[in-house]
Amino acid sequence: MNWHLKRAGQALFTLWAVVTLSFVMVRMLPWSAEDIVVAELIQQNPNLAQNRDMLRRQVQDMLMIDPDASITEAYVQYMMSVMQGDLGTTYGVRSGEEVSAIIAGALPWTIWVMSLATFGMFALALALGAIMAYREQSAFDYSNSAVAIVAASIPYYVAAVVFIKYIGFSDFLFLEMIPARNRLPDGVAVGLTFEFVSGAFRHALLPALSFIVTGYGLTALAMRGNSIQTLGEDYVRVARLRGLPDRRIALRYVGRNAVLPLYTWLIISIGTMFGGAVILEQLFNYHGVGYWMLEAIEANDMPLMMGTFIVLTAAMVVAIWFGDLTYGKLDPRIKSGDEGEAY
């Protein structure tokens, strides 16, 4: 139990650090975020120049920072509003909209693509790696090892561009079913309909594939190595002598123990994928959190920038925290806290 508390504390601390960092970053920019906002507001509404109070309120509304307050006061105010889920209001992209609303509309899509990519990649990598290990030094093993290494050396965005060009805009057979842009087909509403589900899947396919194809290689090779090592373990030999069915040995003995070291890898890869989402969503015009982050940077939209930054990092922190919590379930040797004591 202790350990859980500690781990939760760590996650919370990371979140706090991220939020604080975004605050500091805004403050430390070579130009003043407030100046930009003020200039922009006055440009939209010249009357504000005279009405300093009104101007201040509007600035505070957007940046969650009172330009006249001291830095401590500003920090406290800012933290309070973030904790209440208020991330300010945009002024560049989609001017005037609540940042939290934009993110709420985008985050599920990013998570959807990322989950598809992560699970697809690991399913492919684990299965392939295990089969390669079982057929060590066969033609299947050699050719797949080579392909995996080549695939792993391609950057995901290059794969994305290739996919867009040759699949996304191709009419060849079923390829026209796989679009290269947007989150959904035109005119399909969110809901539990076949159009929605299949549309969401088809539109997420290419972004996810870009990650899968370029990411599975190293994982598959690692799985292969782990499996070969596990196959040589005494307990696998004893399991065979005990007459256990091959399937059980493959899954419960070789697979389970070979996957363990990869679990941490899986969790870390979620982090890199969220980072990759920024570029990938831009390429596929996929309106997820990463897409808005890049838009915000281009438009110098400070609140949206901060909001997406906070949310992306928070998603990573939560994913890693979840991974840590579940690792103990997978590997009994890493039991959390005092209950793992040997006797």
List residues binding other proteins (CB under 8 A).
233-235, 237-245, 248, 252-253, 256-257, 260, 330-333, 342-343
From the CB of 261, what's the least distance to other proteins, in Å? Answer: 12
User: Among residues 244 and 299, whose Cβ is nearest to other proteins?
Assistant: 244
User: Among residues 30 and 332, whose Cβ is nearest to other proteins?
Assistant: 332
From the CB of 341, what's the least distance to other proteins, in Å? Answer: 8
State whether residue 250 is helix, strand or coil. Answer: helix
Compute, in degrees rounded to 10, the torsion defined by CA atoms 156, 161, 167, 168: 110
Structure tokens at 103: 């993110």
From the CB of 343, what's the least distance to other proteins, in Å? Answer: 7
User: Among residues 40 and 331, whose Cβ is nearest to other proteins?
Assistant: 331
> Cβ of 56: how many Cβ atoms within 10 Å?
17
Structure tokens at 222: 């690692």
336 φ/ψ angles, rounded to the nearest 5 degrees: -75, 135
**Is 159 in contact with 284 (CB distance < 8 Å)?**
no
**Is 197 in contact with 138 (CB distance < 8 Å)?**
no
User: Among residues 139 and 342, whose Cβ is nearest to other proteins?
Assistant: 342
From the CB of 235, what's the least distance to other proteins, in Å? Answer: 5
User: Among residues 211 and 253, whose Cβ is nearest to other proteins?
Assistant: 253
**Is 2 in contact with 337 (CB distance < 8 Å)?**
yes
**Is 182 in contact with 155 (CB distance < 8 Å)?**
no
From the CB of 333, what's the least distance to other proteins, in Å? Answer: 5
User: Among residues 187 and 243, whose Cβ is nearest to other proteins?
Assistant: 243
Instruction: Give me the DSSP letters along 279-317.
Output: HHHHHTT--SHHHHHHHHHHTT-HHHHHHHHHHHHHHHH
Structure tokens at 75: 């920090």
Tell me the CB-side half-sphere exposure of residue 257, using CA atoms within 13 A: 17
| Distances 252 to 26, 75, 231, 334 between C-alpha atoms, Å | 51, 52, 12, 18
- Packing angle between helix 256-283 and helix 99-134, nearest 10 degrees? 140
User: Among residues 31 and 343, whose Cβ is nearest to other proteins?
Assistant: 343
User: Among residues 6 and 256, whose Cβ is nearest to other proteins?
Assistant: 256
From the CB of 3, what's the least distance to other proteins, in Å? Answer: 17
User: Among residues 185 and 337, whose Cβ is nearest to other proteins?
Assistant: 337
From the CB of 319, what's the least distance to other proteins, in Å? Answer: 23
User: d(Cα 188, Cα 305) in Å, to the nearest integer?
Assistant: 29
2: exposed, middle or buried (C-beta count within 10 Å: 0-12, 13-18, 19+)?
exposed
User: d(Cα 102, Cα 110) in Å, to the nearest integer?
Assistant: 13
From the CB of 191, what's the least distance to other proteins, in Å? Answer: 42
From the CB of 2, what's the least distance to other proteins, in Å? Answer: 19
